[in-house]
């Protein structure tokens, strides 16, 4: 396959981004690396993550991908800088918690759900500092174990973990929730059941638009009239 856009995540989370990419780039080929074997990324050290993600980048690179979409907030906040340094010949588009969208939207009380690793990353504080207005409050919520349950599709356990995670916020007038892990975009319905008045925000559309922009900027667009999508899975 003459592939150009490589995508990866620790499993099914990045499918939300792949879905949007398919829509905005109907003439491109995609190769998705679904790294279920190494899920959860969010509970690994930065060294472990760099080791894993650079092996995936190699895999995608030798299959002809020039642009790589890190469809994972954890891998982006922890590894994108180093990956860009090690692979200057590739274009990387990352995914970060959509804090800017929440700030621009004027939300006052926002929960940021993300993996423990993303929550502890410097990038989160940079994004809050760089975008927050005085009156806006952010509650950082590390959701240990949640991405793994979503990967394994353990419905009942997902719902009871959500109840436990959200219980301290029931009287905080939460008006928005940032889904700072791509796996969480797959459980919007379950989250809305608990916070039915909060707006759920993810970075899916922004990532797809950035990929489109980079394709144009780097002259990578193809004049094909069909789309090929291939998904490879690391062994569980
Ligand atoms: N989907 C990933 C993210 O956006 C990571 C989930 C995990 O493996 O912990 O952060």
Q: Model's pTM, two decimal places?
A: 0.95
Alpha carbon of 12 to ligand 1 centroid (Å): 9
CA distance readout (Å), 68 to 54, 65, 142, 143: 11, 7, 27, 26
Let me know: does 215 contact 221? Beta carbons within 8 Å. Answer: yes
Select from 74, 97, 119 the residue to mutate for testing ligand 1; criterion: most ligand atoms less than 8 Å from CB. Answer: 74
Nearest-CA neighbor of 7 among 33, 36, 39, 41?
A: 33
Nearest-CA neighbor of 13 among 37, 31, 39?
A: 39
The predicted model gives 221-230 an average pLDDT of 82
Cross-strand pairs, 199: 176
* Structure letter (DSSP) for residue 135: T
Q: Looking at the predicted structure, is the pLDDT value of residue 158 above 60?
A: yes
The predicted model gives 108-122 an average pLDDT of 97
| Active-site position among 3, 65, 72, 196 | 72
3 assigned to active site: no
pLDDT, tens digit, 9 for 90 and up, residues 167-199 = 999 989 999 999 999 999 999 999 999 999 999
* Structure letter (DSSP) for residue 186: G
Confidence class for position 224, pLDDT limits 50, 70, 90:
confident
Q: Looking at the predicted structure, is the pLDDT value of residue 223 above 80?
A: no
What is the rounded CA–CA span in Å between residue 76 and residue 72? 6
Q: Looking at the predicted structure, is the pLDDT value of residue 1 above 60?
A: no
Nearest CA to ligand 1 atom 2: 72
Cβ partners under 8 Å of residue 145, min gap 6: 40, 161
Cβ partners under 8 Å of residue 158, min gap 6: 146, 149, 150, 187, 190
What is the rounded CA–CA span in Å between residue 201 and residue 106? 13
Give ligand 1 pocket residues (Cβ under 6 A): 9-10, 13, 39-42, 72-74, 115, 118, 147, 181-183
Residue 226 confidence (pLDDT): 81
pLDDT, tens digit, 9 for 90 and up, residues 82-97 = 999 999 999 999 999 9
Percent of the chain with pLDDT over 90: 92
Convert 110-121 into a string of H (helix), E (strand) and C (coil): EEEEECHHHHCC
* Structure letter (DSSP) for residue 97: -
CA Rg value for the chain: 17
pLDDT, tens digit, 9 for 90 and up, residues 31-56 = 999 999 999 999 999 999 999 999 99
Q: Looking at the predicted structure, is the pLDDT value of residue 60 above 80?
A: yes
Percent of the chain with pLDDT over 70: 98
Let me know: does 42 contact 190? Beta carbons within 8 Å. Answer: no
Ligand 1 atom at shortest distance from the alpha carbon of 39 = 8
Total Cβ atoms within 10 A of residue 47: 9
Alpha carbon of 171 to ligand 1 centroid (Å): 28
Residue 2 confidence (pLDDT): 61
| Active-site position among 65, 103, 143, 181 | 181
Q: Which helix (H) or strand (E) segment is 184 a member of?
A: none
Residue 225 confidence (pLDDT): 76
181 assigned to active site: yes
Nearest-CA neighbor of 33 among 50, 18, 48, 49?
A: 18
Confidence class for position 3, pLDDT limits 50, 70, 90:
low
Residue 236 confidence (pLDDT): 62
What is the rounded CA–CA span in Å between residue 226 and residue 33? 21
């Amino acid at each position: 396959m003459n592939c150009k856009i490589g995508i990866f995540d620790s499993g099914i989370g990045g499918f939300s981004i792949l879905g949007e990419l398919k829509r905005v780039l109907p003439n491109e080929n995609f190769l998705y690396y679904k790294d279920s074997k190494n899920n959860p990324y969010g509970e690994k050290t930065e060294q472990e993550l760099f080791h894993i993600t650079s092996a995936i980048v190699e895999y995608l690179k030798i299959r002809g991908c020039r642009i790589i979409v890190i469809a994972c907030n954890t891998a982006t906040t922890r590894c994108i800088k180093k990956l860009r340094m090690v692979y200057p010949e590739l274009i990387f588009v990352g995914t970060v918690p959509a804090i800017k969208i929440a700030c621009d939207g004027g939300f006052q009380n926002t929960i940021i759900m993300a993996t423990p690793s993303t929550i502890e990353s410097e990038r989160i504080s940079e994004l809050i500092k760089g975008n927050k207005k005085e009156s806006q409050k952010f509650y950082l919520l590390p959701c240990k174990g949640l991405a793994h349950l979503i990967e394994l599709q353990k419905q009942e356990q997902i719902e009871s973990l959500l109840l436990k995670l959200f219980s301290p916020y029931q009287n905080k007038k939460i008006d928005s929730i940032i889904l700072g892990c791509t796996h969480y975009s797959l459980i919007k319905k379950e989250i809305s059941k608990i916070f039915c008045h909060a707006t759920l925000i993810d970075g899916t559309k922004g990532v797809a638009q950035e990929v489109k922009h980079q394709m144009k900027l780097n002259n990578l667009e193809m004049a094909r009239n069909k789309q090929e999508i291939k998904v490879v899975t690391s062994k569980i």
